[in-house]
Amino acid sequence: MVDNRQHVKWFRESSPYIKAHRNKTFVIHLGGEAMGHENFHNIIDDILLLNSLGIRLVLAMGAKPQIDSAVTEAGQKSQTDNGVRITSPELLPVVQQTVGKLKIDLEAALSRGIVKTTQSGRDIFLASGNYIKAKPFGIRKGIDFHHTGTVRKINTDLIHQQLDMGAIVIVAPIGYSPSGEIFNIHSTEVAGEVATALLADKLILLVDGTGQMDHNGELISELAVSDIQASELKAYSPIAIAHKACLHSVERCHLISYKKDGALLEELFTRDGVGTQITRVSYEQIRSAASEDIPGILELIEPLEAEGTLVKRSRELIESEIDKFIVIERDGLIVSCAALYPFEDKGELACLATHPSYRNGNRGELLLKEIKKRARTSKMSAIFVLTTVTTHWFTERGFVEKDVQDLPHGRHSLYNYQRKSKYFEMPLKADSQ
């Protein structure tokens, strides 16, 4: 007999995300590499599923490898400079033909997907058009890029109208000048510019790897835009595009693999995701606390101590334990804090708080991720929390209730039976983020 418990658990855990994503606008960059990959049809099915859940979708398509092949087949040569194709007048018809065919293939795949998946019978509306006003890339360092263009303006009203009607909007990497000239534009630029202009909630770039890697080749699951060194980024690379979009207006960008079946769903509907999420908290900093932060931390936690949500901590205690704290600072104000205390091979997450004016901005989640990261670095096997009123916040993020008798010995001896706090634990897998 098939064990459906895992499905039930996954479905329950994904329900808050289903609610959160409804009516949100996501721009997905579908590069030519993704469209040529064997996993493409699974991606299409997942895109249709997102559409059926009420997510407003814009697909910014690319066609680079397909254009490369078509150019070779036509016996022509394509030149690039710094990753930008030089679209000569001879090359333009090849580009037009290839992009046109690929767009039709994409529309066909989306149409076929509807029949194949559970959404059979549901009408789906695909829209595309002259959304991009372009200007020439120009002559740079003596090189004439001819019909290679760059985005001048996006017709956001038209895209929004079509999204309002429930359409999946397809944006090709082609723009038009007011004089009727046709321009070939880098598709990642199009994706970033469209997401920015639409004030999209998410820009999702499907990439070759699993996401953004650190210097040790490990996946970075979460990056604040302020952590990215813009000068080190390759122009038009997914991370550069994500960085720019976040700096401008997009709340979150995601880099996820186009090769992994289900990566889109895992990234959007599970707590930890599978790729790299880049968030916009540029003017905020998450960092280790220092002694100058003590007045700010006290101001933040004292009201919560007074109402009994947090255990009372004296200034002296915080002073002596300041190295256990991390904070989020915004314009010089401590808006969130948390602490990690080691007990045997586990760590207690304590004193987690966000200023009431700044709640529901994902700061608690960011602190939890940072605490998990630090706990893993210290080789801890789990983090735990003792809480009286915030039980659901922790269980919704993967903590599981345990008997207080199972607390690490050193913490159990300090347990305050009058507070009747509940004990929740989250195991840490060394290999996950």
Ligand X SMILES: CC(C)(COP(=O)(O)OP(=O)(O)OC[C@H]1O[C@@H](n2cnc3c(N)ncnc32)[C@H](O)[C@@H]1OP(=O)(O)O)[C@@H](O)C(=O)NCCC(=O)NCCS
Residues in contact with ligand X by the rule CB under 6 A: 16, 304, 309-310, 336, 352-354, 359-365, 385, 387, 389-390, 392-393
- To ligand X, the closest distance from the beta carbon of 317 in angstroms equals 17
- Residue closer to ligand X (CB basis): 175 or 364: 364
- Residue closer to ligand X (CB basis): 18 or 233: 18
Token look-up 């299409």 returns: 44
CB count within 10 Å of CB 127 equals 18
- Residue closer to ligand X (CB basis): 239 or 385: 385
- To ligand X, the closest distance from the beta carbon of 328 in angstroms equals 8
CA angle 107, 70, 60 (to 5 degrees): 35
Provide the CA 392 distance to its chain's centre, in angstroms. Answer: 24
- To ligand X, the closest distance from the beta carbon of 236 in angstroms equals 32
- To ligand X, the closest distance from the beta carbon of 204 in angstroms equals 20
Report the C-alpha gap between 287 and 280 in whole angstroms: 16
- Residue closer to ligand X (CB basis): 22 or 101: 22
- To ligand X, the closest distance from the beta carbon of 78 in angstroms equals 47
- Residue closer to ligand X (CB basis): 296 or 364: 364
- Residue pair 86/79 in contact by the 8 Å Cβ criterion: yes
Q: Residue 287: in which H helix or E strand, if any?
A: strand 284-288
Q: Nearest-CB residue to ligand X?
A: 364
Q: Residue 286: in which H helix or E strand, if any?
A: strand 284-288
Helix axes 238-248, 187-198, angle to 10 degrees: 20
- Residue closer to ligand X (CB basis): 84 or 327: 327
Per-residue burial over 354-366, b if 16 or more Cβ lie within 10 Å, else e, is bbeebeebbbbeb
- Residue closer to ligand X (CB basis): 393 or 415: 393
- To ligand X, the closest distance from the beta carbon of 397 in angstroms equals 8
> Which distant-in-sequence residues (6+ apart) come within 8 Å of 360 by Cβ?
none
Report the C-alpha gap between 220 and 431 in whole angstroms: 12
> Which distant-in-sequence residues (6+ apart) come within 8 Å of 260 by Cβ?
39, 210, 274
- To ligand X, the closest distance from the beta carbon of 336 in angstroms equals 6
